[in-house]
Structure 1
Amino acid sequence: MNETEIEQRITFEALVPHFEKMREWAFFTTLVPITVVVVMWSQVDQWMLLGWLLLVLAGIGARFVLTTAYHRQAVHYQNARKWHVRLLMMSVYLGGLWAIAVFAFYVPDSPPHQIFIITLSVTLGVGSITSGTYWLPLYFVYGVPILTALLIRFALMGTLPFAALVLMMMFALLASFSFAKKLNMLVRSEMRLRLESADMTHKLEVKSEELQDAVYAKSRILATASHDLRQPLHALSLFIDALKQSDSPAESARIFRRIDLSMESMRKLFDALFDMSRLDANVVQPELSHFDIAQCLAELRDEFAAKAEKKQLRLIVHARSDAVWSDQALLERILRNLIENALRYTRSGGVLLTARRRKATILIQVWDTGIGIPQESQNKAFAEFQQLERPSDEQDQGLGFGLAIVRRLCNLLDYPLELHSKVGKGSIFSVEVPVGEIASSQVQHDGSNKPSWHASGQCIVVIDDDMNVLNAMETLLASWQFDVIAAPSLTEIQDQLRTSDRRPDLILSDLSLNGADNGIEAINSLRNQYGDPGIPGILITGSTGTEQLKLAEESGLKLVQKPVRPASLRSIIQHHLSATTPLSDVTV
């Protein structure tokens, strides 16, 4: 709650009892002007008295109507200002009428009537300090005009006693003003303290609920991950056992394909967990660029074409060539998750990808003819682990992180995200992305001009304290014709490098190593050893810890999450080696 809201709430809560009091005392406040008319009937023009009385009674009646309506309406601090202004106008009106009465009904030749008017004005003026306690402007527009009118009337008398009374009235006016201000400050400060305390208590309660939700979410992660990871692991163990007993090449090839599918399922689950961890750790930093959204959607269509065809669904793109200003990798991840979600829950029909300009933004939408999302479930659609009824033929269920990642990435990029859905009709997911510059988005998408690499004996250093992983990496890289030097620690790697007299062309290191070492320090130590900070380094980790992910992000090194697909690893190695390999060593 900001300062303006606090002031609004203080004024609102201070005036709530005042509105109630004005309504309850409306009848008794009519007795005062009637008493004035009765007392002054023989001293002042009677028509003037009656006219003044009618005006005052009209003001009191209007204030009663106002306070009654306020009592019946659902007024809260955010919409109370108009009611406060109306009450203030009523006070201006009545304060002005009483100031006129004090000035006009003062009888110089009748001491009893003088005393009556003086007593009445002082009582009304000083008594209005209580209104100022609720809201100081109420005192300024009601009590101050009455006392000022009396002061001016004394000044017009022109005698020494009245001049003394003028000085005394000025002192009384200043004293009452100071007292009203201090009393108002005291009341408001107490209310501020109470509101801030209540607000702090509410924030603590919300924080406590968030922490409880976080603990519950972690428990659900463990429970869900444990279940969903056991499925491909169980299938994998069965396939491996079947492979051992297979004598048929065709059967072995079929089992290998099944093994690959199980591995792919596990990778997707780990990728989802890793993405959520990186977003939780706030280590994902957008890298904005201009690129063609139509080309981007076309590539995503090609990527999912086989899956759509397998389910006999149409996958269509409707977009004109237009530039967007975004992080292409993150935007593609958003759209990829939306497309996967659409294909997963669509039994017939298809999925449509559209992009159209809206002034300064491009509206990107993913339409599907799927099962739809019930209205009561749409607010929870982007929460973790929220999964709809899965079609019976759908095996790739996942952890339910897809839409949660979409929401977090949209929040990170500050993109509006909307969902419209009807059960049995389908869903529309909409994302708005800033417009980019056409000239800056002219990027060559033809892969024929990209250089390809060959190992040609390049030396890759591998550091991993898990011997199974170390042996597997050494075997894989050697099969790609690399010269591999592998060891479980930095010290052993340094010893082997001295013996072999080789200089590393690339360093692959696990982020977490035994002892005090970590992969960042290992890579930097080897760079210092050879006096070359440009030696490419890649971190590979199975950790999802926030601190470790932040440390890796700050290092500037490429971070790869285990398990990594061999094709992805090869692509990453290619990128790092081609960035440092002389043109003469690159084949095209």
Structure 2
Amino acid sequence: MSQPLVSAGELQPQTSESQLKLLTISLNRVVFSVHAIPLVAMVFLFAMWWHRYDVVPMAIWALLYVAGALVIRRWQARFVADCETRPAHEVNAQWIPRLKRAATIHGLALGSGTWLVAMTKDPILNIFWLVSIAGILAINATHQTGILNSFLRFFALCWVQVALATPWTVPNYSGLTLALTAIYALALYHHAKGIHRFLVQQMDLEQKSLILAMQYQSAKEQALSALAAKNSFLMTASHDLRQPVHALGFLIESISFRSTDPHLRPALTDLRTAVKAVQIMFDSLLDLSRIENETAVRAPERLDMNAIIVETLSLFDGDARARGLRLRAKVSSRAKHAIADPVLIRRALVNLVQNALRYTLEGGVLITARRFDSMLRLQVWDTGIGVASEDQTKIYSPLYRLENAWHISSEGHGLGLSVVARCTELMGTQHGLRSREGKGSMFWFDVHAAQAREDSTQSAPHRDAESAVTALLRGRCLIVDDDPLVSNAWEHLLTSWASKCAALRRERLPSFSSMAAIRPMSSCAISGCARAKAVSRYWRPCSRNVRKPAARWSAANSIRPHSRRPRNPGTRFCTSRSIHTC
């Protein structure tokens, strides 16, 4: 920035860009003023002609201003071109002196018009000229003071001529007129300095705002990059760490099934609870990371709410019975179908049911679906510990847990409800709760209801899925898994159930005719049928004697053998992840 460009008493803008903006404002005002003067001259030419005064000097003066207007227009075009092609400090260094010279010439020329009007010796015409000049100076004091020195030159050279011509323009009131011109000069000078200070401050604030906006954009991009890196790390770490945790869960179940020592039962129960808590934490972290990355978001589609609720019942049936709780569902006849993202609605419902079971010591959990106008509301009722009123506004925050929740269950880390909140946000719907401390709670979220179809009649949710969930696998089973730790754990578990197993390795295919296939699936967004079809496509070339699946069996959060067998024998598919049955 060039320091000599600023005169004494003139404020210095903080940046060259700010000074260039002030230069542009002042230069545009000078250009406009030069273009406007010929129009003012035409009015006085007509008045002088009407009163039979000599109009030749004023006409020449007006033509000179027309020529000046043409020159200054080309001058302005060069200034615009320089602004586009040259740095701000170079433009300021070259054009501020030019602006000052132009303002000097303009002030001398405008003031000289006073002598031409004074030649008429008409007091009325001279007073009108004096008022016109005062108005022109006042307007320029508002818009030309970006470069204060240029305006002061223009003002002084014009107004001094007006004051000196006073004895000829208003000879009878020359003393009063001189006093008024002096007062006007002081007032206009004070006004010009105030406007200059305001313009400099505004330009500096605008420049600071621009810098802050750029810094904010840069910080936002860095934060989003860090968030994406964090989510990617959490997804990768959660996925990779769940492998040994799953294997540990299988080994615990195998030991529990084989062991007959009653002294080991409490230790195995505590170990199973600890492993399940770690699984829940990894699942929640993975869900939250996927949702924040919006990788789990799909286009809304028509969903069968009966199927989704039955699926949720089957997923948590074993956990509810292990806790001594009753898990039920009730779907209104007007709430059978919804339009929503199937991944988001499942995740929200699963987290609510999981949360309800975790903090309910006795009684049960009820899932309901009701229709409210164009929305369908899914509700999860429980008879648990409840939520105090002061905690109800915080409970959906990530990593927030109730103080008394730690005494009820060590599972969970305050992520489940934050997943629910994020799911409803992505679906564009609402969520909430009603609760009484010590009595129970009702958590809910809305989805868009679908229009009913006459041919779509679904039965109410039922518990017949228990046999599919809790069935004991016996016979021959093929294990497909890239992780030797997990496949070995599967072999130990299935062998303890009196099943004959073989693991499929990438480098070789065992000569093994099996009735069931177990293969890991990394995405929870695929339904049980889609998983089975994926396994079937992968497995079919391995054995021509394998039949198509006639029944389903899912390994959910925990695997516990029961005495019931599947009703329909055939090929069985299951995974070492939580899945959705179809």
The verdict on a shared fold, with TM-score over 0.5 as the criterion, is no
Larger Rg: 2
Higher relative contact order, chain-length normalized (CA < 8 Å, sep 6+): 2
